[in-house]
């Protein structure tokens, strides 16, 4: 049996592993709707606009109600109560940090498939919505070849209502700007910051603004375009949003039965990166993109320490695991099979010639001061997803073929596989006639782990990695130690429950 100390650092239910894995897999790398907030020094946010033959300005949040009335009079008001001010009739200084906001909104809206496209943001208009004013985009919007989206900044004013609703094929999204904070003290800074709520969405989507109940809703609208000569430098890492993963992991962290002694969560990287033996893993974690970056952001938001590490499996050193030239070689016991390091261990192209005995290879890794031996749990394996058994009697032959989910889950004391389908083919041995039945299932099959494979020989303090998403060897770096390679993976460190409880309080 695995030791109690290891099990206390192991997620011991398949349902938990599956829930978190599914939440990670559901992270949308190509969203159609994004929201967020952006902080700007309170003294900076001022809008200058034409007021007849003169110029006037208003600071946000506005100090006086008269300032909003003057802005309203300067707008061209339509029948639906929406006031509009064209870009040629106003100007606003959004500061040097505005390109960062564009990077967060526009580039993430583009998604991973178009991460290399150059973009620009074109300031379009101010919208002024007072009580009862509402807006619905026309069903037919003139197409612009290079335009892909819309970015709206909601300037901080007191208002109720005015919810923006956007619809796509996946469903309906709501953006309630009236619930956003307007200002707060900036930590470590002597001044207040103004909080600007923003929303970005694809320009072809149906959208409308519900009636404003009270107060005034003032927005800046930008049209987002592809560009050959970008105003916005293409130096922003794209990360996705992961609200479902955030909620599910937070609920688990609040549960005292979830990793009571703490532990590590493991994530295979979805995207391929340019790692090499010289890569500095500690600094590269901020460069993860898409779903990978969303996982890092979620873990950090929940107070979990994150790191990129190199992961090693000594099974790669086996020369004949399939038994082509004799009895198949067996992999090392799991308590001495896997290693991790904060650096990438490489002996250079001539490294393998420095080791003369085949046993030097694992010993070289084990003796390295940079490595830690670990136990792997969760979705460690990707296995053949089909298994067949045949039973014979005097009158018939029955073949049962079971289709499994590709991912095998190790719970420490047992192995769990999800059964997707079972096909039973019965053959009459006298007539040769076959009958077939297919049973589609969504059940799990549990198998007790054999003695000696549960980590019982591992040291009590040996780290346990709970793999939420399996390591698919997307990012492999050569070590030049025979056939052993380093796989670059992401880890999140979960504190013991008592510390989580104290920190939350």
Task: Compute the distance between CA of residue 163 and CA of residue 223 in angstroms, rounded to an integer.
Answer: 20
- Is residue 55 within a helix (H) or strand (E), and if so which, with residue range? strand 54-59
| β-strand partners of 425 | 399, 436
- Whether 400 and 386 have beta carbons less than 8 Å apart is answered as no
The DSSP secondary structure of 256-323, one letter per residue, reads: TTSSTT-EEEEE--SS-----TT--HHHHGGG--HHHHHHHHHHHHTT-EEEEEEEEEGGGG-S-TT-
The alpha carbon of residue 207 and the mean position of all alpha carbons in its chain are separated, in whole angstroms, by 27
User: What pLDDT, on the 0 to 100 scale, is given for residue 361?
Assistant: 58
User: What pLDDT, on the 0 to 100 scale, is given for residue 227?
Assistant: 78
- Whether 238 and 292 have beta carbons less than 8 Å apart is answered as no
Q: Is the pTM of this model over 0.85?
A: no
Task: Compute the distance between CA of residue 173 and CA of residue 164 in angstroms, rounded to an integer.
Answer: 8
**Closest to 147 (Cα-Cα) out of 34, 30, 237, 227:** 227
- Is residue 160 within a helix (H) or strand (E), and if so which, with residue range? strand 159-161
> Which residues are CB-contacts of 11 (< 8 A; sequence separation ≥ 6)?
17, 258, 259, 263, 377, 378, 411, 466
Report residue 428 as tokens: 């009459």
Q: Tell me the fold of 33-226.
A: Jelly Rolls (2.60.120)
CA count, 13 A, side-chain hemisphere, 163: 9
User: What pLDDT, on the 0 to 100 scale, is given for residue 145?
Assistant: 62
Q: What is the pLDDT of residues 347-357, one digit of tens each?
A: 664 455 455 55
- Whether 487 and 314 have beta carbons less than 8 Å apart is answered as no
Q: What is the pLDDT of residues 229-239, one digit of tens each?
A: 654 544 455 56
User: What pLDDT, on the 0 to 100 scale, is given for residue 47?
Assistant: 93
The DSSP secondary structure of 218-257, one letter per residue, reads: EEEEEEEEE-SS-SB-S----B-B-HHHHHHHHHHHT-TT
The number of residues making up the chain comes to: 505
Give domain limits for the chain.
4-28+241-383+409-417+446-504, 33-226
User: What pLDDT, on the 0 to 100 scale, is given for residue 366?
Assistant: 62
Task: Compute the distance between CA of residue 17 and CA of residue 21 in angstroms, rounded to an integer.
Answer: 6
Task: Compute the distance between CA of residue 46 and CA of residue 93 in angstroms, rounded to an integer.
Answer: 7
Task: Compute the distance between CA of residue 277 and CA of residue 262 in angstroms, rounded to an integer.
Answer: 31
- Whether 264 and 314 have beta carbons less than 8 Å apart is answered as no
CA count, 13 A, side-chain hemisphere, 497: 13
Report residue 209 as tokens: 């603004």
**Closest to 40 (Cα-Cα) out of 95, 1, 92, 111:** 95
Q: How far apart are the first and last CA of the chain?
A: 36
**Closest to 339 (Cα-Cα) out of 207, 192, 467, 487:** 487
**Closest to 288 (Cα-Cα) out of 146, 141, 115, 441:** 115
**Closest to 428 (Cα-Cα) out of 394, 401, 405:** 394
User: What pLDDT, on the 0 to 100 scale, is given for residue 185?
Assistant: 46
Intervals of the chain under pLDDT 70: 1-3, 43, 111-116, 139-145, 181-191, 229-240, 318-329, 331, 347-369, 381-385, 441-442, 451-456, 480-482
């Amino acid at each position: 049996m695995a030791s109690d100390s290891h099990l206390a650092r192991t997620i011991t239910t398949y349902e938990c592993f599956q829930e978190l894995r599914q939440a990670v897999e559901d992270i949308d790398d190509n969203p159609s709707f994004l929201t967020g907030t952006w902080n700007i020094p309170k003294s900076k946010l001022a809008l200058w606009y034409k007021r007849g033959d003169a110029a006037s300005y208003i600071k946000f949040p506005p100090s006086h109600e008269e300032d909003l009335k003057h802005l309203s009079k300067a707008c061209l008001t339509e029948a639906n109560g929406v006031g509009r001010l064209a870009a040629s009739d106003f100007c606003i200084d959004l500061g040097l940090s505005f390109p960062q906001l564009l990077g967060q909104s526009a580039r993430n809206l583009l998604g991973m498939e178009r991460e290399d496209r150059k973009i620009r943001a074109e300031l379009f208009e101010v919208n002024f919505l007072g009580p009862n004013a509402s807006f619905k985009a026309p069903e037919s919007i003139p197409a612009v070849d290079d335009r892909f989206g819309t970015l709206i900044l909601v300037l901080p004013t007191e208002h109720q209502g005015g919810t923006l609703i956007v619809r796509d094929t996946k469903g309906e999204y709501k953006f309630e700007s009236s619930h956003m904070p307007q200002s707060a003290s900036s930590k470590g800074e002597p001044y207040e910051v103004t909080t600007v709520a923003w929303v970005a969405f694809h320009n072809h989507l149906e959208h409308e603004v519900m009636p404003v109940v009270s107060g005034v809703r003032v927005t800046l609208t930008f049209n987002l375009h592809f560009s050959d000569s970008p105003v916005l430098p293409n130096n922003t890492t794209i990360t996705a949003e992961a609200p479902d993963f955030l909620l599910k992991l937070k609920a688990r962290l609040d549960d005292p039965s979830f990793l009571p002694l703490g532990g590590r969560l493991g994530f295979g990287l979805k995207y391929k990166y340019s790692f090499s033996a010289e890569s500095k893993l500690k600094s590269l974690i901020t460069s993860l993109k898409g779903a990978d970056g969303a996982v890092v952001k979620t873990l950090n938001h929940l107070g979990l320490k994150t790191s990129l590490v190199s992961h090693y499996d000594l099974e790669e050193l086996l020369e004949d695991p399939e038994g082509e030239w004799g009895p198949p070689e067996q992999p090392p016991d799991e308590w001495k099979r896997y290693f991790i390091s904060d650096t990438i261990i490489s002996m250079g192209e001539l490294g393998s010639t420095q080791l003369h005995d085949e046993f030097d290879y694992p010993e070289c890794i084990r003796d390295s001061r940079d490595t830690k031996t670990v136990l792997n749990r969760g979705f460690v394996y990707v296995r053949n997803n089909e298994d067949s058994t045949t039973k014979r009697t005097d009158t018939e032959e029955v073949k049962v073929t079971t289709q499994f989910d590709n991912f095998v889950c190790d719970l420490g004391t047992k192995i769990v596989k999800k059964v997707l389908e079972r096909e039973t083919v019965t053959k009459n041995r006298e007539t040769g006639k076959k009958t077939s039945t297919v049973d589609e299932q969504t059940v799990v099959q549990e198998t007790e782990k054999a003695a000696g494979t549960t980590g019982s020989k591992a040291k009590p303090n040996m780290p346990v990695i709970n793999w939420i998403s399996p390591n698919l060897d997307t990012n492999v770096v050569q070590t030049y130690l025979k056939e052993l390679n380093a796989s670059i993976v992401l880890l999140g460190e979960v504190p013991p429950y008592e510390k989580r409880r104290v920190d939350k309080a």
